[in-house]
Amino acid sequence: MRMYDLIYKKKYGGKLSKEEIDFIVQGYTKGEIPDYQMSAFLMAVCLKGMDMEETTNLTISMRDSGETLDLSKIHGIKVDKHSTGGVGDKTSMCLSAMVAACGVPVAKMSGRGLGHTGGTIDKLESIKGFSTSISGEQFFENVNNIKMAIMGQTADLAPADKKIYALRDVTATVDCIPLIASSIMSKKLASGADAIVLDVKMGSGAFMKTLDDAVALADAMVKIGTMAGKHTSAVITNMDQPLGLAVGNSLEVIEAIDLLKGKGPKDLLEDCISLGTLMLVGGGVTDNLDEAEKMLLKTIEDGSGLKKFAEFVEAQGGSPEFIYDTDKFEKARYIDPIPAPKSGYVSRIQTDEIGMCSLILGGGRETKESVIDLSVGLILNKKLGDEVKEGEPLAYIHSNDKAKTAQAIERFLNAYTISESFEGKVKTTFARVTSDGTVYF
């Protein structure tokens, strides 16, 4: 086999066999295929596409480029959830506790963030003593004992994806559904869960800007998971505004805890319910979505979700006192309102710009070496469709540096559009995608 011939074949729309795809992925991972040939191949895929069989074979080959987790020591059907990423997305923390409280094992691997805020790992580290650097045996034991554990993602998981993505990032080959789907699913399949639920974000703060593109990506990932023998489903959720009200690390943890106490924002709860019902169905505790919703809501009403989260935190070295008393979290030195420049209705939010405000304050990483300030961020006071009076706070900014505060406020005001009226309807979820098809809400 020659890489030249495979590039030529895909350039003219030919279908690649499993053996040919393995040759490309494994050869590139080992350094036997140079960057310039892999770049040409990726561009050919962007222009000519891949069918589902090719995309699945690409995913499996990337999965098999490194280690795969064996979760057989964990009892029951293991369920994992993955989000394509968004501003204010703290769902994993509260949702995992709710699902675990319903008896479904959640064995989750998460990464650190590179961008506007930290990843789930960074956010959880704002809890005193909490650590995701636990052994595999401790991970298995925690899931068996309390049905929930979150640990840092190993560098040996799907190394082909890391190497290929770095190349895609500099060759304008990121925006291609077969490549996006295989990138995400290779890591999810390597993580070893039996059932996978995907939160596919859509809107100004997401990679997929339109509903059609988001559904196409979700459908591809669900088909890959299904063809790989995993119970896979997805929900398309709104990222035309931040999820919830908090943007920042410790601020988002506090909001996730508030949700478990029954005080969380409506859109975050709806996101948790739409994803959690599929997780309970995938976990085999019920085959009825309405019953699954009642089970999840009960974990908030009876406090079992909050208790589960505290157990999880304590099992990984953290102080459960932070869960029951969020005043213990480190606070930013300055909290300043961002006054509305005029009266009207919030008609548009450029969500990715709100994320950049958090980054300016120090709440995210511009490089892998950046040190995150876990206490900074924003608490939104007005969201899409809300009426606002001139001078009324649009948000409160939490900062430890007044110069950064001024920069973030200027950027924030440019991200908000205030109009005389708002006729639109704000939705949290748009569609559910399963192996049986797509249901639009």
pLDDT tens digits, 182-234 = 999 999 999 999 999 999 999 998 889 999 999 999 999 999 999 999 999 99
Distance CA 169, CA 173 (A): 7
Give kind and range of the element (H or E) at residue 42.
helix 35-48
Q: Locate CATH 3.90.1170.30 in the chain.
A: 332-419
Give, rounded to a whole angstrom, the gap between the first and last alpha carbons of the chain.
48
Catalytic annotation present for 161: yes
Of the residues 161, 213, 271, 373, only one is catalytic, namely: 161
DSSP secondary structure, 345-396, as one string: EEEEE-HHHHHHHHHHHTSS-SSTTPPP-TT-EEEES--TT-EE-TTSEEEE
Of the residues 92, 183, 191, 250, only one is catalytic, namely: 183
- Tens digit of pLDDT for each residue in 370-383? 788 999 999 999 99
Catalytic annotation present for 187: yes
Distance CA 14, CA 212 (A): 26
Distance CA 412, CA 393 (A): 12
Helix, strand, or coil (residue 311): helix
- Tens digit of pLDDT for each residue in 319-364? 999 999 999 999 999 999 999 999 999 999 999 999 999 999 998 8
Does residue 396 contact residue 358 with C-beta atoms inside 8 Å? no
3-state secondary structure 100-147: HHCCCCEEEEECCCCCCCCCHHHHHCCCCCCCCCCCHHHHHHHHHHHC
Helix, strand, or coil (residue 41): helix
Task: State the pTM of this model.
Answer: 0.93
Catalytic annotation present for 333: no
How big is the chain, counted in residues?
Answer: 441
pLDDT confidence of residue 114: 53
For the record, the structure tokens of 366 come out as 């511009």
**Alpha carbon 63 to chain centroid, angstroms:** 19
pLDDT at 42 over 60: yes
Of the residues 81, 168, 365, 383, only one is catalytic, namely: 168
Beta-carbon contacts of 333 under 8 Å, excluding residues fewer than 6 positions away, are: 399, 400
Of the residues 187, 201, 398, 404, only one is catalytic, namely: 187
Token pair 């993602």 is at which residue? 153
pLDDT confidence of residue 308: 98
Of the residues 10, 63, 78, 82, only one is catalytic, namely: 82
For domain 332-419, give the fold.
Aldehyde Oxidoreductase; domain 3 (3.90.1170)
Token pair 């569609």 is at which residue? 431
Q: Locate CATH 1.20.970.10 in the chain.
A: 3-49
Distance CA 9, CA 239 (A): 38
Q: Is 244 exposed, middle or buried (0-12, 13-18, 19+ CB in 10 A)?
A: buried
Q: Is 344 exposed, middle or buried (0-12, 13-18, 19+ CB in 10 A)?
A: middle
- In Å, how far are 99, 257, 422 from 303, measured between CA atoms? 13, 11, 37
Distance CA 240, CA 396 (A): 20
Q: Locate CATH 3.40.1030.10 in the chain.
A: 79-325
Share of the chain above pLDDT 90, in %: 86
pLDDT at 93 over 60: yes
Q: How many CB atoms lie within 10 A of CB 114?
A: 13
pLDDT band at 368; cut points 50, 70, 90: low
For domain 79-325, give the fold.
Pyrimidine Nucleoside Phosphorylase; Chain A, domain 2 (3.40.1030)
Distance CA 420, CA 437 (A): 40
pLDDT confidence of residue 136: 87
What stretches of 172-288 show up as alpha helix (H) in DSSP? 177-190, 211-227, 249-260, 266-282
Asked: is 3-49 a CATH 1.10.10.10 domain? The reply is no
Catalytic annotation present for 22: no
